[in-house]
Structure 1
Amino acid sequence: MSLRVILSVEALEPRLSGIGRYSWELAQRLPFIEDVHNVRYYRNGEWIADPALLLDPAGIPLWGNKQLRWLRKRNKWALRLRDAVVMRGHMFHGPNYFLPAAAAGGVITVHDLSIFRFPETHPADRLRQFERYFRLSVDRAGHIITDSETTRTEVADFLGFDMAKVTAVPLAASPAFHPRSADEVAPTLARYNLVPQGYALCVSTVEPRKRITELLHAWENLPPAVRNRWPLMVTGGAGWLSEAVRDLMDKGARQGWVRYLGFVPEEDLPPLYAGAALFVYPSVYEGFGLPPVEAMASGVPVVVANASCLPEVTGGAAMLVQPEDVSDFSRRLEQALLDASWRQAAVEKGLGVAGDYSWDRCATETVAAYQRLG
């Protein structure tokens, strides 16, 4: 079946979020899949000629044509009608939860339900957007894509959607994440005063569901020789950086066993992963959990919470923990740092699991989900 696709690219911007990364990987690949005849890109009521320009801070988006911009100013109703006519011949995919009114019958990707389960971790404008438009988008959708089977079941149950109309399509780590030698990572690590295999890493927004507080307490409980040999590096958005978390991080920083790196440049992340002795991801709710996959692809042993989709996504390669049991969490972290046989097996299994995911696979399986509409 020959498909004509419209992909919404409102999540594309110079500093890509996880959904932005997902949108960009699809935008690059969909035009080259055999059954896709044509792809157009749509952003907040405008046609985008080249989505790559949205990633350039100095770039100027190339809209469809000047006449369309003039029409927008003079007659918004005419523009909506034109959009409806164009979309009628295309399959519209909203990779960021929403479908415009003219795209009824299209596909949306629902990455997770954190907006409903953890509303306090989302900005007020995002909550208002979901209150107004999410149910409308679900009602318009002919099919829903999720990032994991766990989320597929959760979304279908929550929305009362037929399971046959929900498809799980896994995400992937970028090829930039792969094992690297100590010599390869040393120059980047030196800028952070780190050495290869001399630290553990957590890449995560600091917010309640990520269980960073529990991780800090567990790290504090490690034997001093262990926690000082492998200080914990936390990188990601400040998010819910409460006074309690900040105080604990400050205390750990003074004692030398933790550092908060904040955001690091995208190009520094692959060597930062590859140089770590251990990657820890104690989040209790995810739609997929890309950081553990990036760590596995980098050849690093991984510890994750035994919760949500993380056991599914890590495929038996990661050590599973209960972050709320801080004493046991600390004991398992010590094992993960010191047990050489487990570490070697975790690296080998992790590389295999991560290797099964790819953005090419994601794009191909996404098109297969499109075809289920027919």
Structure 2
Amino acid sequence: MKVIISADPIKYPLTGIGRYTYELASRLNKSPEISELLFLRGRSLSHQIPALGKNTSVSRSNSGIKKWVQSNPLATEMYRLTAPWLKTFAIRKHPDAIYHGPNFYLPPHVDRCVATFHDLSVFTWPQCHPAERVRFMQKELLLTVKRASILITDSEFTRKELASYFNLPLSKVYTAQLASSGEFYPRDMAAINQAVQKYGLKANHYCLFTGSIEPRKNIATLLDAYERLPLALRLDCPLVISGFKGWSSVALHQRFTQAQAAGWLRYLGYADALDLPYLFAGARSFLFPSLYEGFGLPVLEAMASGIPVVCSNSSSLPEVVGDCALMCAPLDVESLTGLIQKSIEDDIWRGQAIINGINRAKQFSWQRCAQETIHAYQQV
């Protein structure tokens, strides 16, 4: 098979979808079932996977343009209408290829195409996104559903939700579960301390949350729950939050500042990708009370790192963690506080959770994700 995959998500800072695209492309690139693999970035085709390195000038330039487009309704609509056609023109010389959009979107008039739907939150949780994002994505994703020969989801939960929401036959939707990067595994305590000391942290003496600072991640509930812990416990084991600033987060950042002044929270912003595996491996426990996830890659990364997990029992998260995590309803502050305290203090549970989590994480692999994706291609 000849495949063209959109490489636009592979950019700094690398989001979850960017990581998915990079890891999948790396495996597809080595698959004997793929005769030729091309990468479409913007309007340019290449046989090379884009590098993961940070290009500050390009990142700042693109960020400025992106913000201007997003804030201007006319520019947003013009972009929505023209950008897909530019991709159509770029790949028109390869009519024999399967085109894969790993980030929801598909260009028009492509005969054989596949798209990955990571979640349905712009339809089912629109209140958790900026209004302009909801308008843009709802229009485009409705077109994607119509254009796609086959759709791929990250989880069985999302597969069933997608088919039900759009009244699609399940035979049109395939699951290719994600995996954690090979960089996430239990690490030596001395190496962890060397990596995290620049953040003022000590291994095994903090709880970690990673993710963008936005409403869907339910960080306000996490702060409410953590604040209920005994002060001595919070000071000895502060909450560490790592993630870039999302939308509707001003009030959260004010609470971060207050909690930092009180000594029980550290906000790191967007942590360097090289440091992130050490931040995971050094955490006492990983906390992820998200309202809704299409997969929930951070909980898998935590389990692979040998870290106990506390998460919500919503959407796809139970599918990922199995019986290896402590779970409660996303908005149940009192229960969340109790589970966090248990994850810090209950050594017997912690020891078993670490073993179970490592074994659970091994059941997911990027090679398996690639094979399941190739199986979806074969239906096209």
Q: What is the one-letter code of the residue matched to 1:14? A: Y
Measure the CA separation in 1 of the matches of 2:347 and 2:52.
Answer: 45
Q: Which runs of structure 2 are paired with 1:181-196 in the superposition (5 Å)?
A: 181-196=188-203
Measure the CA separation in 2 of the matches of 1:210 and 1:273.
Answer: 18
Say yes or no: does 1:142 pair with 2:149. Answer: yes
Structure 1 pair 270–80 and aligned structure 2 pair: CA distance change class (3 A):
closer
Partner of 2:293: 286
8 Å Cα contact 2:6/2:39 also seen in 1: yes
SS of match in other structure, 2:92: helix
Measure the CA separation in 2 of the matches of 1:34 and 1:125.
Answer: 42
The partner residue of 2:161 within 128, 131, 154 is 154
The partner residue of 2:238 within 225, 228, 231 is 231
Deviation at 1:34, TM superposition (A): 2.2
Deviation at 1:244, TM superposition (A): 3.6
Partner of 2:70: none
The partner residue of 1:39 within 29, 37, 40 is 37
8 Å Cα contact 1:121/1:240 also seen in 2: no
Who wins on radius of gyration, i.e. which is larger? 1
8 Å Cα contact 1:53/1:59 also seen in 2: no
8 Å Cα contact 2:215/2:248 also seen in 1: no
Say yes or no: does 1:84 pair with 2:82. Answer: no
Q: What is the one-letter code of the residue matched to 1:211? A: N
Deviation at 1:36, TM superposition (A): 1.3
Q: Which moved more, 1:131-140 or 1:326-335?
A: 131-140
Once the two structures are superposed, residues 220-273 of structure 1 have per-residue CA deviations (whole angstroms, 9 ceiling, x without a partner) of: 101122222211001102214544423332232122111211111110000111
Deviation at 1:12, TM superposition (A): 1.8
Say yes or no: does 1:304 pair with 2:321. Answer: no
Structure 1 pair 31–243 and aligned structure 2 pair: CA distance change class (3 A):
closer
Say yes or no: does 1:364 pair with 2:364. Answer: no
8 Å Cα contact 2:43/2:90 also seen in 1: no
Measure the CA separation in 2 of the matches of 1:135 and 1:216.
Answer: 36
Structure 1 pair 44–276 and aligned structure 2 pair: CA distance change class (3 A):
same
Partner of 2:72: none
8 Å Cα contact 1:306/1:321 also seen in 2: yes
Structure 1 pair 54–305 and aligned structure 2 pair: CA distance change class (3 A):
closer
Partner of 1:8: 6
Measure the CA separation in 2 of the matches of 1:8 and 1:100.
Answer: 10
Deviation at 1:360, TM superposition (A): 1.4
Partner of 1:265: 272
Gaps of 5+ in 2: 59-84
TM-score (norm 1): 0.88
Partner of 1:249: 256
Measure the CA separation in 2 of the matches of 1:157 and 1:263.
Answer: 36
Measure the CA separation in 1 of the matches of 2:294 and 2:187.
Answer: 28
Measure the CA separation in 1 of the matches of 2:118 and 2:371.
Answer: 18
Deviation at 1:107, TM superposition (A): 0.8
Partner of 1:57: 55
Gaps of 5+ in 1: 61-76
Say yes or no: does 1:170 pair with 2:205. Answer: no
Measure the CA separation in 2 of the matches of 1:191 and 1:20.
Answer: 27
How many equivalent pairs are there? 354
Q: Structure 1 vs Structure 2: percent identity of aligned residues? A: 40
8 Å Cα contact 1:15/1:55 also seen in 2: no
Measure the CA separation in 2 of the matches of 1:121 and 1:78.
Answer: 30
8 Å Cα contact 1:189/1:271 also seen in 2: yes
Q: Which moved more, 1:117-126 or 1:304-313?
A: 117-126
The partner residue of 2:325 within 309, 318, 323 is 318
8 Å Cα contact 1:6/1:42 also seen in 2: yes
Measure the CA separation in 2 of the matches of 1:23 and 1:256.
Answer: 38
8 Å Cα contact 1:11/1:19 also seen in 2: yes
Structure 1 pair 58–29 and aligned structure 2 pair: CA distance change class (3 A):
farther
Measure the CA separation in 2 of the matches of 1:232 and 1:366.
Answer: 37
SS of match in other structure, 1:225: helix
8 Å Cα contact 1:12/1:55 also seen in 2: no
Measure the CA separation in 1 of the matches of 2:337 and 2:296.
Answer: 22
The partner residue of 1:218 within 225, 244, 258 is 225
8 Å Cα contact 2:43/2:86 also seen in 1: no
8 Å Cα contact 2:321/2:357 also seen in 1: yes
SS of match in other structure, 2:162: helix
Q: What is the one-letter code of the residue matched to 2:19? A: R
Measure the CA separation in 1 of the matches of 2:19 and 2:86.
Answer: 33
Structure 1 pair 136–323 and aligned structure 2 pair: CA distance change class (3 A):
closer
Q: Which runs of structure 2 are paired with 1:81-120 in the superposition (5 Å)?
A: 83-86=91-94, 88-120=95-127
Partner of 1:200: 207
Partner of 1:345: 352
Partner of 1:22: 20
8 Å Cα contact 2:215/2:249 also seen in 1: no
SS of match in other structure, 1:52: coil
Measure the CA separation in 2 of the matches of 1:144 and 1:293.
Answer: 23
Measure the CA separation in 2 of the matches of 1:78 and 1:146.
Answer: 26
Cα-Cα RMSD: 2.3
Q: What is the one-letter code of the residue matched to 1:224? A: L
Deviation at 1:279, TM superposition (A): 0.5
Measure the CA separation in 2 of the matches of 1:244 and 1:78.
Answer: 40
